[in-house]
Amino acid sequence: MNFIKLCVAGVVAILVLANVAFAVLPDEMLKDPNLEARARVISQDLRCLVCQNQSIDDSNAPLAKDLRIIVRERLTAGDTNEQVFAYVVARYGNYVLLKPPLQTDTLVLWLMPFALLIVALGTVAFYLRKRPQFESEDGIEPDAEIPRR
Amino acid sequence: MALPALGFAGLAGVFALGLRSDPKLIPSPLIGLKVPKFDLPPVKGKTLGLSSTNLLGEVSLVNVFASWCVACRAEHPIFMRLSQDKSVPLHGINYKDAPDDAAKWLDTMGDPYTRTGADLDGRVAIDWGVYGVPETFVVGADGTIAYKHIGAVTGEVMSNTLLPLVERLRKGAAA
């Protein structure tokens, strides 16, 4: 039992400690807690271009660090969050946004899930309606219990 | 019956197309825009720095490089050949390099650049939308960024893409 407890404690410790491992270094942080909070929110939505599925807030890449510092400089200079995003997008394109904006060239991206849902529901409705309710075509009664897979 | 199979084939087709494109190549929003305003001092030991005004008046190539970058070493001979041909001026932006390392690189391997700018903190490169070295830009005579090549320039890229574009830009400017 003690061994299991030890294992659980170990796993908990790993999970907790893993969360402490920020990429944002203390010397990057702004003194103003409001600005720092905004910087964190912004950098969590900016893609690191080096390790592409991480935000710059998560990434240890040098470029991500540079961009984090730029985000903070822009905020200190009085930019709104939108202006900071615009600053980075002007250099790296919409690709840096982890939440792509809704515009003409991203319509497919945004509408595809809904289109697929409609197609899927339509297909299900079509097959359910076509299928005989209680009898199969050869007249044999289907099993009352459908085996679960 | 055929519908699921068709659906699968369609999806597989889309994925196959997706596999062909390299996710590391991110299209730059700066193509067709003027080069960002910048003014960099020369690399240690060189006399000519690089600024945005230096890129006006003539079609040129701008190569972002660093001595710590392996792919830069691979493309360096291509640039040495280019500078011997004198077909188009090549300028270098030295990205986040220790001044001594950059100087040693150019001294030992040869300096193919007409002008070099030392971008010590990498800020100018960020203004250029650089996200990795090497990157090579083709800049028109009016200072417009016409093209960006990401990664090492090979002989093929140089003769099939970059140099033909330089020719087209020259003709366009003359016409």
Q: What is the CATH number of domain B30-174?
A: 3.40.30.10
Contact in structure between B28 and A93 (CB atoms under 8 Å): yes
Q: Chain A partners of B3 at a C-beta cutoff of 8 Å?
A: 123
Q: Chain A residues contacting B, CB < 8 Å?
A: 49-50, 52, 62-63, 66-67, 70, 89-95, 123
B contact test, residue of A54, A67, A72, A91 with most B CBs within 10 A: A91
ipTM of the complex: 0.84
Contact in structure between B82 and B158 (CB atoms under 8 Å): yes
Tokens representing residue A140 in the block:
């044999």
- Work out the average pLDDT over A23-30: 83
Annotated domain spans of chain B = 30-174
Strand partners, B150: B135
- Tens of pLDDT along B108-144? 999 999 999 999 999 999 999 999 999 999 999 999 9
pLDDT of B126:
96
Q: What is the CATH number of domain A9-101?
A: 1.10.8.640
- Tens of pLDDT along B145-155? 999 999 999 99
Q: Do B96 and A62 touch (CB under 8 A)?
A: yes
pLDDT of A24:
81
Q: CB B34: neighbour CB atoms within 10 A?
A: 15
| pLDDT higher than threshold 70 for residue A137 | no
pLDDT of B24:
81
Contact in structure between B75 and B153 (CB atoms under 8 Å): yes
Annotated domain spans of chain A = 9-101, 102-132
